Structure 1
Amino acid sequence: MSGHSKFANIKHKKEKNDAAKGKIFTIIGKEIVVAVKEGGANPENNSKLRDVIAKAKANNMPNDTIKRGIERAAGDANSVNYVVNTYEGYGPNGTAIIVDTLTDNKNRTAANVRNCFTKGGGNVGTTGCVSYMFDHKGQIIIAKEDCDIDADDLMMMALDAGAEDFSDEDDSYEIITAPEDFSQVRESLEKEGIKMAEAELTMIPQNYVDIDDPEVVKKFTRIIDMLEEDDDVQAVYHNANLPEEDDED
């Protein structure tokens, strides 16, 4: 199963998000504010906002909540000005970690991110120190249980829309796009009524680092969990291949 660990990680992340809707809705709410400020409140003329709305729907955010978020962002000229920042660093065993943040206080965020790395035995590095190990891509995950289309037909649909790659995994399909083609591929699939479990721009590792030592796993997991719990953190990417968790909970 180790070859499919990244999909297990996606599923695990999804389950964690489902158990903490407040956090994921806060993340998406901030992205709505930024998208509206950059391109206006009309999704038809704002591809970034369309992408955020798609992400919101994939995370089961109610339409009323999405609409209110857009209206609030459009109507409040004095709303918070969020600054986008990305941090890069190393976790235990030389693992690479990238942290995307959206904050109204860069000093606070920088201190918090540094603290998360330190407590797990890692360290923040300079810009570019690990990002070269990742590819910036659009990623769409479709759960097989939500899709009744034949795999070959879905693949041709995605490739015809402009996707770069299509993978048929154990319990899901993964569609990869160039960042600039992500919106059109996602919208093409959406028009066909295809339900997406994940739909977002992401950083995909070129190679994975296996971590088997339980103590190292514990340290690494502490970094990731602390980062994901921080209100200023929007997304965390890493190249660790962790042992699968037992379904105790």
Structure 2
Amino acid sequence: PPFVKGESAYFISVNRNKKSMTLNLKKEKSVDIVHRLIKQADVLIENFRPGTMEKLSLSYDEVKEINPKIIYCSISGFGQDGPYRLLPGMDQVLQGMGGLMSITGEPDGPPIKVGVAVADIAGGMFAAYGIVVALFNRETGGKGQMIDLSLLDCQVAWLTYRAGSFFASGEIPKPLGSGHPVIVPYQAFKAKDVYVNVAAGNDQLWQKFCKALGLENIMNEQRFATNAMRVKNSSSNN
């Protein structure tokens, strides 16, 4: 839910502008249809659990026999090998295992999931990147290839500078609400009746921000003069 004229809004949101065909891949006739499609396809994408495509006679080795130039992208929760390979990859679980929930939410609060399925979305984006690169490689003299894409890998990649900070300092990142770990002020502040979103991303914007609010008296105070000092004294800046 919700449904619009009998169609799921969720389904439509991720399947708009797509042409679809329903096939029962456990039936030989359906597999024959897929084989015919593979002969003229550039890309095959599948997101079954590892081992399922082999049971359906649609493994990469079998598919490349039909079309050696095909780009075969397998998307799974935890990759095609490893101890978790056969576990289902749900967005909720992946956000937790990938570290995102541990840095989302209010300080000292419970782990919070991002409001949309970012682990699933990240998987789709990284799959698209990988497929485009594989197609480019094929067109420049290469061959078809298989892409083994793990949703957990994609989620960890999205930790970006928070992961970099951990490896540089050894300090475990913590949730900061709407705040930023290395830029201040850069968060939503509660005013009398609404929240005000502030993004003073550098010292010049900090000065403009102070002037707009008539706070010239603190603009050049030593403890707030630079972003590094504002981060250090962020509790004084809230």
Q: Which category describes the TM-score, using the shorter chain as reference length?
A: under 0.3
* Structure with greater Cα Rg: 2
Of structures 1 and 2, the one scoring higher in RCO (CA 8 A, sep 6+) is 1
Q: What TM-score comes out, normalization by structure 2 length?
A: 0.23
Under a length normalisation based on structure 1, what TM-score does the superposition of the two structures give? 0.22
Structure with greater strand share of residues: 1
